[in-house]
């Protein structure tokens, strides 16, 4: 029901439209103007910035999916794609406000601080991994792909609109079906954890959160723990996404040769940064 009532209507249209924009090269017209901003603050090309924007607006796992699609269409280099995976795939604002702050914590006043903590930690993670990404190498790789981009644009324009639409719809349905399968699988797995590890109390709740984010957050919120412990824990798990989100992200990279390692390392770093910032906020503010 989570997949049918929430993910299907909210993510599928974005997946289809995103494919259409990438295959017709229309996305560049939307994000070409602030090109200097993407280079200065994120060391990204205009195409790479599109993955960042979709990841920010739509949440998991759209950032990873768009990154993979752009790489397969030769819009971005492999180096830029793996760099994007370290910070472009994160929870969306609607999930943070409605599910984490209102439903789980029942704290409307925490909505804006939660936005600030999650996205600040994500940007700090971006800065940490940007040192390894080598900004000039990304720009050079983008130049090397300039001719490929022009060729892809010509091919896209020459392709029948109906064919592009059919391909985009099928790609969207394949991706959203994969997400449903992973949610069902990990929900069952989480049910086993609750049965087996119930006597361990706090350990069981933590394992639920690490396994599947949404139901894990609900389980942790029901423990009655002090906000000093609960808030950093919930935000850390939200930033990490859980094993289920990691598996979904990996499935979005199918058909590419992109390394999954940078994503995992970045999420572990993000978990620690987010938890620390959330703890400092509760203690100081």
Q: What is the chain's pLDDT, residue by residue, as a tens digit (285 residues)?
A: 777 877 788 778 888 887 787 777 666 666 665 667 778 888 888 888 888 888 888 888 888 988 998 999 888 999 999 999 999 998 888 889 988 999 889 999 999 999 999 999 999 999 988 876 555 444 444 444 444 444 444 444 456 777 878 888 888 888 888 888 888 888 888 888 888 887 877 788 888 888 888 888 888 888 888 999 999 999 999 999 989 999 999 998 988 999 999 899 999 999 999 999 999 999 998
Q: Are 111 and 97 in contact (CB under 8 A)?
A: yes
What pLDDT sits at residue 190? 83
Half-sphere exposure of residue 128, counting CA atoms within 13 Å on the CB side? 17
Distances (CA, A) of 117 to 105, 113, 212, 215: 16, 6, 21, 22
Q: Are 244 and 210 in contact (CB under 8 A)?
A: no
Q: Give me 231's structure tokens.
A: 């808030």
Q: Are 209 and 271 in contact (CB under 8 A)?
A: no
Number of domains observed in the structure of the chain:
1
What pLDDT sits at residue 247? 92
**Whole-angstrom Cα distance, residue 139 to residue 94?**
33
Check residue 226 and give left, alpha or beta (phi > 0: left; psi -120 to 50: alpha): beta
- Cis before 153? omega within 30: no
User: Around Cβ 123, how many Cβ atoms within 10 Å?
Assistant: 14
Domain that holds residue 279: 2-284
What pLDDT sits at residue 143? 47
What pLDDT sits at residue 51? 87
What pLDDT sits at residue 27? 62
Of the candidates 149, 185, 199, the residue with the CA atom closest to the CA atom of residue 2: 185
What pLDDT sits at residue 124? 93
pTM higher than the cut 0.85: no
CA angle 239, 245, 251 (to 5 degrees): 140
CA angle 152, 90, 211 (to 5 degrees): 120
Of the candidates 127, 84, 130, the residue with the CA atom closest to the CA atom of residue 253: 84
- Which of 256-273 are b and which e, b meaning 16 or more Cβ less than 10 Å from the residue's Cβ? eebeeebbbebbebbbeb
* 3-state DSSP helix/strand/coil % of the chain, to nearest 5: 80, 0, 20
């Amino acid at each position: 029901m989570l997949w049918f009532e929430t993910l299907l209507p909210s993510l599928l249209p974005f997946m289809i439209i995103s494919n259409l924009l990438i295959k017709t090269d229309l996305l560049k017209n939307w994000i070409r103007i602030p090109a200097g901003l993407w280079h200065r603050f994120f060391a990204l090309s205009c195409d790479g910035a599109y993955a960042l924007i979709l990841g920010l607006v739509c949440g998991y796992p759209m950032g990873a999916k768009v990154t993979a699609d752009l790489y397969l269409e030769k819009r971005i280099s492999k180096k830029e794609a793996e760099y994007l995976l370290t910070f472009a795939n994160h929870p969306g604002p609607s999930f943070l406000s409605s599910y984490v702050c209102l439903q789980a914590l029942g704290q409307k006043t925490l909505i804006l601080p939660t936005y600030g903590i999650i996205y600040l930690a994500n940007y700090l993670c971006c800065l940490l991994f940007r040192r390894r990404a080598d900004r000039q190498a990304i720009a050079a790789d983008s130049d090397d792909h300039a001719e490929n981009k022009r060729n892809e644009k010509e091919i896209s324009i020459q392709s029948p609109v109906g064919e592009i639409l059919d391909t985009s719809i099928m790609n969207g349905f394949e991706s959203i079906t994969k997400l449903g399968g992973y949610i069902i699988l990990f929900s069952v797995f989480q049910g086993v954890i609750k049965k087996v590890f119930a006597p361990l109390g706090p350990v069981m709740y933590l394992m639920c959160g690490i396994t599947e984010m949404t139901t894990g957050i609900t389980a942790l919120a029901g423990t009655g723990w002090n906000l000093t412990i609960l808030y950093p824990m919930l935000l850390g798990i939200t930033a990490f996404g859980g094993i289920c989100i990691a598996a979904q992200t990996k499935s979005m990279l199918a058909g590419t040769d992109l390394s999954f390692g940078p994503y995992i390392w970045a999420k572990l770093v993000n978990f620690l940064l987010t938890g620390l910032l959330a703890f400092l906020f509760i203690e100081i503010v």
